């Protein structure tokens, strides 16, 4: 087996796969290739001698007893092309001729010649996919050599399995030495490990090798044959054989706590991997979660998906990865903090597929309706509203103080700025806790890649900065007025971002704005160039004309004319300066047109007509068409993706804060015991039964009449519930940021309708289930038919036996009759003779 790159050049993580054996998908398989490289290096001098890669020894210089080794080493393994198959077949002809020209003793002596590293002729032959007739000669004349390991513990069957030899060859080697099926090399690997490499054997060979228990043999790093099969993308039939031979292999972990599922997902782009993932999860769903500190399978898939970039070149790989993702999510993994951060780390093209799956949306709804996320959402709204109101009031007050000549104090009372300080402290604490949580999960990059975090930092910095300026009275008054006015934008954008996480309409709007801007990049650039061009043309046409000669030359004249004429600045000559010309062209695009400015010049009028047609009529309508089309895309095709992606970001943030590893560490450092999950769940359903009983009051109408005692009692209870209990309970929840709301209220307020999504994988699974049910029904019907046929056959057999017995009796009677007749004839013949 060849190796094209060093193991040190490849990533050690199981989540960073690559194709083929030389580019091993995991560290465990890297070590396979490392050992093979060591083996090849150790044999390099001897192999170069035999194969002639270095001109050291010619064929005439090799003793006759060693020619067999030379010819076997120079034989070529077949490749995929037809020419290579012919060349490989011809390369074994010297071996056949040598074997045919020597007697058995000479062949035996040559076959037992061992090289420096213990290799014999059968070792060399098995490395090059030998034909069965050659192996039969070795096994018939020098059968003992099949039991001889080389210097690294490899038997000939190890080489045959590693080279992808024919089934008949491997079967012959195993039959002559059955113990070889469980023989291990220096690193604990059986021939079955090698049969599952880059040249996978057929399911029949895998069944043959695993029948002796080899499927349960781990190598020196704890990898079972099933790990190898998943790492190299074995077929579903092979996986069935391995899991049937050793079912415990599904949950077995190597020394880094990796199951076969991790190795399959590390090469999720292979066509065979989705079937492997489906099979493994169908046999044991527990492996979809992290086991004893091992990596989360979804994180492994995310790491692989990150390297699949180009959509056109990797279309098949993307489809395979998406199907693997759907199999993982349909297995219902535990909604831990690691799970949500892994969902966040998926690339956009894969995350968009995940968030529209009902199983993910259900989990997000469950999480966001819990107490802590609900409390944070409501607290965000309260604090943000408080900051916006306080900021608007204090900025206006500060500006008035700064421009009031009678007031020498430009500062604002600190007590009126307390809401701003508290708001900044709250949001700053949220960001710090979020960063700590992500650091504890080792996914801080998610914070860096999330644009909303930069909005939060800008919000905190601006509000704090202007609050300090208002508190100290520092800064120029004009600079403060402009800066504070611009900063208001951040406050309202922050509120819009909050509403984006709450309502799908706002999510669609925000997503639509960014989507439309991206789509308009080329159009806006072209429009800007056209506006600049026309501004330059108008500015040039009117230079040194009567139109511009009476134009004011300085700001003093400009202000004087405005004061005297009491006219608007737009009535002055707008095309006598480049900047005013550009502004006028821009306003013409928006519909503010004064054609009187162009009547003095025919060229100017022509340019005006061209501008109106090209820009105002044509480009403006193109702009409207692009915006409308783009917004429809985001509204009808990407609305659910945008909304649920935003909700995933928030839920992941809350879950990282509430349930991240830092929580257990803090409790441990403080000597606190972790509360059991059942207790936490009971606290989270506070008031659920009571609220249900209150709601049942409005559904029970089974009364005989309105004058009955039961009806009057229920009516009074309904009035009390509507007037006192429900309003007071809802008000208590509002005051306590939803903490004392029953789960039903939180679900009604914060959950969203789950999208109906039917993926190709779901359809395929449903089809498989239907086919399995149909097959089971067919088997039952066939069994009944067979039983009926067997019963009928038994009856026919009994009848046939009876008939045969009757025939036998008739024949016996007839034979007796014939015997008596013959006896009578003999007696009469004797009497006649006498």
Alpha-carbon distance of 745 to 733, in angstroms, equals 9
How far does Cα 74 stand from its chain's mean position?
A: 46
- pLDDT number for residue 670: 57
Alpha-carbon distance of 515 to 507, in angstroms, equals 12
On whether the CB atoms of residues 146 and 135 are closer than 8 A, the answer is no
Alpha-carbon distance of 138 to 120, in angstroms, equals 11
- pLDDT number for residue 22: 31
Alpha-carbon distance of 298 to 288, in angstroms, equals 8
598-614 burial: b if 16+ Cβ within 10 Å, else e:
beebeebeebbeebeee
Tokens coding 362: 């259900």
- Splitting the chain (834 residues) into consecutive groups of 10 residues, what average pLDDT does each group show? 33 32 40 45 41 48 78 85 84 90 90 86 92 92 91 92 91 92 92 89 91 91 93 90 92 91 92 91 90 86 86 80 92 87 88 88 88 90 93 88 70 85 92 83 80 88 90 82 86 85 74 75 85 88 75 49 45 76 84 74 83 81 77 64 82 78 60 49 70 79 62 81 88 88 87 66 58 71 76 76 82 84 80 74
On whether the CB atoms of residues 35 and 187 are closer than 8 A, the answer is yes
Torsional class of 296: left (φ above 0), alpha (ψ -120 to 50), beta (otherwise): beta
On whether the CB atoms of residues 269 and 304 are closer than 8 A, the answer is yes
How far does Cα 740 stand from its chain's mean position?
A: 37
250 Cβ contact partners less than 8 Å away, ≥ 6 residues apart = 226, 243, 259, 260, 280, 283, 284, 287
Which residue is it, tokens 């995940």? 354
∠524-530-534 over CA atoms, to 5°? 145
Burial of 169 (0-12, 13-18, 19+ CB in 10 A): buried
- pLDDT number for residue 595: 74
Alpha-carbon distance of 56 to 48, in angstroms, equals 8
- pLDDT number for residue 15: 32
The model carries a pTM of: 0.69
Q: Can you count the helices (H) and strands (E) in the chain?
A: 41, 0
Of the candidates 183, 92, 184, the residue with the CA atom closest to the CA atom of residue 138? 92
- pLDDT number for residue 604: 82
Alpha-carbon distance of 561 to 551, in angstroms, equals 10
- pLDDT number for residue 528: 87
- pLDDT number for residue 192: 94
Which residue is it, tokens 């020209």? 101
- pLDDT number for residue 639: 67
pLDDT digits (tens, 9 = 90+) for 812-834: 888 888 888 888 887 777 777 76
Alpha-carbon distance of 84 to 80, in angstroms, equals 7
On whether the CB atoms of residues 512 and 627 are closer than 8 A, the answer is no
C-alpha dihedral (676, 679, 680, 686), degrees to nearest 10: 180
- pLDDT number for residue 768: 61
Burial of 813 (0-12, 13-18, 19+ CB in 10 A): exposed
């Amino acid at each position: 087996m060849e190796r094209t790159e060093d193991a040190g050049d490849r990533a050690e993580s199981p989540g960073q796969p690559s194709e083929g054996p030389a580019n091993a998908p995991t560290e465990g398989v890297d070590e396979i290739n490392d050992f093979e490289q060591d083996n090849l290096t150790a044999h390099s001098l001897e192999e170069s001698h035999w194969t002639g890669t270095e001109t050291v020894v010619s064929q005439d210089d090799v003793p006759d007893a060693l020619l067999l080794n030379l010819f076997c080493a120079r034989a070529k393994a077949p490749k995929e092309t037809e020419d290579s198959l012919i060349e490989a077949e011809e390369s074994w002809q010297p071996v056949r001729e040598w074997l045919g020209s020597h007697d058995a003793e000479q062949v035996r002596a040559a076959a037992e010649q061992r090289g420096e590293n213990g290799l014999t002729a059968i070792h060399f032959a098995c490395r090059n996919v030998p034909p069965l007739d050659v192996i039969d000669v070795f096994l018939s004349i020098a059968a003992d050599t099949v039991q001889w390991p080389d210097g690294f513990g490899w038997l000939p069957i190890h080489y045959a399995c590693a080279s992808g030899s024919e089934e008949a060859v491997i079967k012959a080697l195993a039959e002559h030495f059955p113990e070889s099926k469980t023989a291990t090399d220096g690193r604990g690997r059986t021939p079955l490990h090698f049969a599952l490499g880059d040249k996978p054997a057929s399911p029949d060979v895998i069944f043959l090798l695993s029948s002796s228990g080899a499927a349960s043999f781990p190598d020196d790093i704890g990898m079972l044959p099933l790990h190898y099969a998943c790492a190299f993308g074995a077929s579903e039939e092979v996986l069935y054989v391995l899991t049937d031979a050793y079912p415990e292999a599904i949950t077995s972990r190597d020394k880094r706590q990796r199951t076969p599922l991790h190795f399959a997902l590390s090469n999720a782009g292979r066509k065979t991997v989705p079937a492997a993932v489906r099979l493994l999860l169908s046999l044991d769903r527990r492996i979809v979660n992290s086991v004893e500190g091992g990596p989360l399978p979804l994180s492994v898939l995310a790491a692989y998906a990150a390297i699949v970039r180009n959509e056109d070149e990797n279309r098949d790989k993307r489809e395979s990865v998406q199907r693997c993702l759907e199999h993982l999510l349909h297995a219902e993994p535990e909604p831990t903090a690691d799970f949500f951060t892994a969902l966040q780390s998926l690339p956009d093209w894969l995350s968009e597929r995940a968030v529209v799956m009902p199983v993910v949306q259900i989990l997000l709804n469950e999480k966001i309706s819990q107490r802590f996320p609900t409390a944070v959402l409501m607290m965000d709204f309260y604090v943000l509203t408080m900051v916006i109101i306080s900021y608007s009031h204090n900025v206006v007050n500060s500006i008035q103080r700064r421009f009031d000549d009678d007031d020498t104090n430009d500062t604002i009372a600190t007590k009126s700025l307390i809401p701003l300080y508290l708001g900044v402290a709250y949001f700053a604490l949220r960001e710090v806790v979020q960063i700590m949580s992500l650091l504890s999960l080792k996914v801080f990059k998610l914070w860096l890649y999330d644009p909303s975090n930069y909005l939060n930092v800008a919000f905190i910095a601006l509000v704090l900065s202007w609050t300090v300026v208002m508190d100290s009275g520092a800064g120029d008054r004009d600079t403060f007025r402009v800066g504070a006015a611009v900063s208001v934008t951040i406050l309202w954008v922050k509120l819009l971002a909050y509403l984006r996480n709450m309502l799908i309409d706002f999510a669609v709007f925000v997503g639509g704005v960014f989507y439309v801007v991206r789509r308009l990049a080329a159009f806006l650039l072209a429009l800007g160039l056209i506006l600049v061009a026309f501004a330059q043309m108008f500015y040039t046409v009117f230079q040194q004309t009567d139109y511009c000669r009476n134009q004011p030359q300085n700001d003093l004249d400009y202000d004087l004319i405005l004061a005297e004429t009491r006219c608007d600045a737009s009535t002055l000559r707008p095309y006598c300066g480049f900047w005013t010309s550009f502004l006028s062209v821009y306003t013409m695009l928006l519909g503010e047109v004064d054609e009187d400015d162009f009547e003095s010049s025919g060229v100017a009028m022509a340019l005006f007509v061209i501008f109106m047609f090209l820009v105002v009529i044509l480009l403006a309508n193109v702009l409207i068409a692009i915006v409308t089309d783009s917004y429809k895309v985001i509204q009808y095709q990407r609305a659910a993706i945008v909304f649920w992606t935003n909700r995933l970001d928030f839920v992941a943030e809350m879950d990282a804060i509430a349930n991240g590893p830092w929580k257990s560490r803090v409790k441990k450092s403080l000597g606190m015991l972790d509360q059991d999950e059942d207790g936490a769940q009971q606290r989270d359903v506070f008031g659920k039964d009571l609220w249900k009983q209150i709601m049942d009051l409005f559904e029970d109408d089974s009364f005989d009449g309105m004058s009955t005692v039961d009806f009057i009692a229920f009516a009074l209870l309904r009035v009390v519930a509507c007037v006192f209990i429900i309003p007071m309970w809802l008000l208590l929840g509002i005051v306590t940021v939803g903490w004392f709301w029953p789960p039903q209220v939180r679900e009604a307020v914060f959950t969203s309708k789950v999208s109906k999504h039917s993926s190709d994988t779901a359809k395929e699974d449903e089809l498989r289930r239907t086919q399995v049910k149909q097959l089971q029904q067919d088997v039952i019907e066939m069994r009944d038919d067979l039983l009926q046929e067997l019963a009928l056959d038994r009856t026919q057999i009994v009848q046939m036996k009876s008939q045969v017995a009757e025939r036998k009796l008739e024949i016996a009677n007839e034979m007796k009759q014939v015997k008596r007749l013959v006896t009578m004839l003999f007696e009469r013949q004797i009497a006649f003779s006498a």
